[in-house]
Homo-oligomer: A and B are copies of this chain.
C-alpha cells in the first residue's frame, strides 16, 4: 500500500554562522511510485551527522551541497515497500536520500543490510559510514601499528567512540580521548575502554594531553580541529601521523578559528597530516570493514552506542544537538 504523501525536512535558508531551526522546514511531499530499477523505501531511521552542516553552505564541503527547498540528504535505513528491481519488498536497505519518511530510490544506490549481523541502528553507525570512517582513518590514513599511542578528539561522538575502540583492536598500546564534560569523559573510560580521558572544557589541553601521554602520541585522529590539533602537534612523536577527519568546532562558525600556530613542528618532527573522506574508500574497504567489525561486535569487543531522538519533527533538534554536544555515540532519529 503506497501512501499518497510523506513528510520531509527541507533546507529553507543557508545559515551565516550557527544553524538554527529557521534554516529548516518540515513539509509534506507526494510519494512517487518506483519506476523501472527503483524501490520505494519507508524510512525507519535517519542519520544526522556534523558534516551535514557544511553541506548546508553554498561553499566547498566534503560532500555535495544541499539545494535550497530540497530535503536534507544523508544516510537513512528503511524497509522496501514497493520494488521494480531485484531488491525484494521487505528487504532492509540503507540509502542516501536523507531526511524524509518515504524515499523512491535507484535500487543500485541502495545497500541491503543484514539485520542478523546487528540491529538496525548499528547499520547507520558502527557498521555504516561512521565505522568505515573510523576504520579508514586508522588504517589507510594514519597506519596505526602495534604499540602506538593514539589520541582521538571528539571521542564520545559517533566516529570518535568507534575510532578509540578500533585503535585498540588494531594494536594501540594506549588510547586517549577528549570530550566535553564529566559525563562524557566517564563514558570514555567505562563504556568505550579508553585508557585516559581529557575534559576539554577544563582548558589547558596541551598540558593535559602531555600528562595523559607521558611518552607522547604516535597517531592523532582529529574530529575537532582548532586547539585540539595544536595540542596534538605539540605532543606528537617524530614521524607521527594525523588523520584529519573533520572539525566539528569549525563547521558551525561564520569565521574560522585561527589555525595551529605550531605547524613548524611538523617539519622538525616529520609529521604527516592527511585529510580524508570515508566515501572515497567505499565500497573497496567497506566489505573488509563490515566483516571485521561484525566479528568484533559478536565477540563483544566493539561497543556501539546511540543517542536516539524520536520523530521526524524532532530531526532538526537532533541535528542541532550535535553542535551543542548533546549526543553520546551516534545521533539518530527514529521514525514511527
Contacts and interface: CB of A to CB of B under 8 A. Distances in A.
Interface in A26-66: 54, 60-62
A244 B266 contact: yes
A60 B263 contact: no
Interface string A163-184: 0000000000000000000000
A264 B260 CA distance: 12
Copies of this chain, whole number: 2
A275 to B, nearest CB: 4
A229 B256 CA distance: 16
A264 B245 CA distance: 9
Q: Which of A257, A262, A274 has the most CB of B within 10 A?
A: A274
A244 B263 CA distance: 9
A258 B256 contact: no
A267 interface: yes
Interface in A247-293: 247, 250-251, 256-277, 280
Pick from A54, A247, A263 the residue with the most CB of B within 10 Å. A263
A259 B262 contact: yes
Contacts of A131: none
Contact of A275 (B225, B268, B274): B268
Contact of A246 (B256, B267, B274): B267
A268 B229 contact: no
Contacts of A247: 263-264, 267
A71 B151 CA distance: 40
Nearest to A230: B259
Contact of A272 (B62, B267, B273, B280): B273
A280 B247 CA distance: 32
Nearest to A259: B259
Given A272-B272, A273-B272, A262 B256 contact: yes
11 contacts: A60-B268, A60-B269, A229-B263, A247-B263, A250-B264, A259-B262, A265-B275, A268-B275, A270-B274, A270-B275, A270-B280
